[in-house]
Amino acid sequence: MPTSLIVRARRPAIALAAAAVLLVGLVPAATAADSLAVTTPYPSIAIAPGSNASFDLTVTAPTAGTVDLTVSGAPTGWKATLHGGGFVVTSVTAAPGKAGTARLDVDVPADTTATKATLTVEARQGSQHANLAITVGVDAAVAGDIKVTTSSPTLTGSSDSPFTFDLTLLNGSAEDQTVSATATGPAGWVIETKLAQANAASTIVKAGASTTITVTATPPTGAPAGHTDLDVTVTAGTKAIPGKLGIDITGTFSLTLATPNDLVSAHGPAGSGTTQQILVKNTGTGSLTNVKMTSSAPTNWKVTFDQDTIPTIAPNADATVTATITPTGEAVTGDYKVTITGASAADQASGATAANGDLAMTFTVETSPIWLLAGFGLIVAILAGLFYVFRTYGRR
């Protein structure tokens, strides 16, 4: 046979063989794309006892229609449920190029004895079916820790302003947690808790994330000085985290000055001392210490106290101080202003702040009895003189 004929005869055979190889390579790909399948991104996980896990499922189907789903293999006490669109579901719709979706939720009881379980999700469409194996390991070590911390567990201040604590919750667990908080205090206190989301009773804190909880405590009016504890409970999922916050009330510090009869006037002669009792009253809720008495009076007047410094005055108590007011001897008759001042010392150790009060008095300088006697004597002398003159010269 001529060589040219042999070559022409082989070319169609080579072309047919190449086409056959190409078709063989395409057949498996088409079959894989057209098969029923159910998948999830993370088919094997580990969670802690008393936790739950969710698996996002994707269902692909060769033809459009309903795909039935079932789950099996959950140990006794475990709960495995298929969800979709906010409902418990038993099937999804799928079509070529448009996969169906669902979610498998697995709840593991805290008292489970199982350390590992394999759950099977089965998908059926007509005569086709596909299985997905999901492995759930149970390990307390993977739970992580949920911590609540604050930089200032105890606050100090007076009772006339609220106390605010900022708490930080760190979700160190492997799951998102629903977080809420409550706080209580003594009777009469107003306690408020606020989450990072305003006006929300609870919030979702993702795994590894943190949130802020604010606790505000307002003491009642006139709350006494001393230590007060607040009981705080932060709930994260099924875990309750109790704690205490402390408040040291230093009290309010104020004082007033008055007289026993509430009169703010006194009187006396020039050059002589007149005593006046002064009531120094503690009108705050904290003790006053080292209350020093001072005065302001006209030039050359003298004001002294039987005790220049009062060591301490308890809340709602008072101390009596006797002031001696001595006008200058050259003071003429009239009204003068004298101011008595009481001032407590600040105490950094107890948190006491300085307090002071004034009592403005009107002091009336009266005519001295000596001058009255002198005037009376002068009048008598004048009358005696006139009597002598009239008697001696009256007959002439």
pLDDT confidence of residue 2: 42
Q: How many CB atoms lie within 10 A of CB 381?
A: 10
Nearest alpha carbon to residue 213 among 237, 178, 171, 181: 181
In 288-313, which positions are buried (b, 16+ CB within 10 angstroms) versus exposed (e)? bbebebebebeeebebebeeeebeeb
pLDDT digits (tens, 9 = 90+) for 364-385: 998 766 655 666 777 887 887 7
CA–CA distance, 185 with 228 (Å, rounded to integer): 8
Pairing of strands 239-249, 154-157: parallel
pTM higher than 0.85 for the full model?
Answer: no
Domains of the chain (ranges; CATH) run 37-142 (2.60.40.10), 144-249 (2.60.40.10), 255-371 (2.60.40.10)
pLDDT confidence of residue 373: 66
Pairing of strands 288-296, 334-343: antiparallel
pLDDT under 70 in the chain at which residues? 1-33, 348-352, 368-375, 394-396
Angle ∠(281,286,291) on CA atoms, nearest 5: 50
pLDDT confidence of residue 161: 84
Rounded to 10 degrees, what is the CA torsion of 75, 78, 79, 82?
-50
Helix (H, G, I), strand (E, B) or coil at 297: coil
pLDDT confidence of residue 22: 39
Find out whether 301 and 338 touch, Cβ atoms under 8 Å: yes
pLDDT confidence of residue 370: 60
CA–CA distance, 125 with 79 (Å, rounded to integer): 25
